Amino acid sequence: MPNKHFYFAMGATTGIAISWMVRKSRFWLLKNTRWMNKLYQWNRDWFLYFPVIVLFFGLIAWIPDIFHALDIFPKKTTRGDFFNIFFFHSYFEKIEDQNPVFNQLMNWIGEFLLFSIAVGVLLFYVKILKKIKNTKNQNQ
């Protein structure tokens, strides 16, 4: 079975992709949707909270494992086809059962994705801080 960080990485990567799409289309969304207007009214710097979206999708990817860990469903149930909606959980479990070499490969992929996400988030905030610093220096 791939380690839990593999599934969290799959969900977090999806959260990053959704955050990126929303950020890229924010001006169109601002003109055409009511929820984006409300978001900007709530906080103009709303995008600084995007790691919450990443965390949310990462936790969604853990749902089958949470159900199994809390004895809500047995392992046989959480490996059923229904649980593929949680980032192909059952599919990856079956692949690993058939070829254990994929277990290590999936774990490395998960580690790489989480490392990339962590560095990417750090670099994003460094970029934002530099922008704020440059804006304040120009105003003085």
Residues 82-133 pLDDT 10s: 888 888 888 888 888 788 888 888 889 999 999 999 999 999 999 988 988 8
**Higher local confidence (pLDDT), 35 or 76:** 35
Residue 1 in this model has a pLDDT that exceeds 80: no
Q: Which two tokens stand for residue 72?
A: 């809500």
pLDDT tens-digit readout, 37-83: 898 888 888 888 889 999 999 999 888 888 888 889 888 888 888 88
| CA torsion through residues 54, 85, 92, 2, sign | positive
**In which domain, by residue range, is 46 found?**
4-139
How far apart are alpha carbons 126 and 50 in whole angstroms? Answer: 15
**Phi-psi region for residue 54, left (φ > 0), alpha (ψ -120 to 50) or beta?**
alpha
Between 12 and 135, the higher pLDDT residue: 12
Distance (Å, whole) CA 10 – CA 110: 7
| Tally of structural domains, the chain | 1
pTM: 0.80
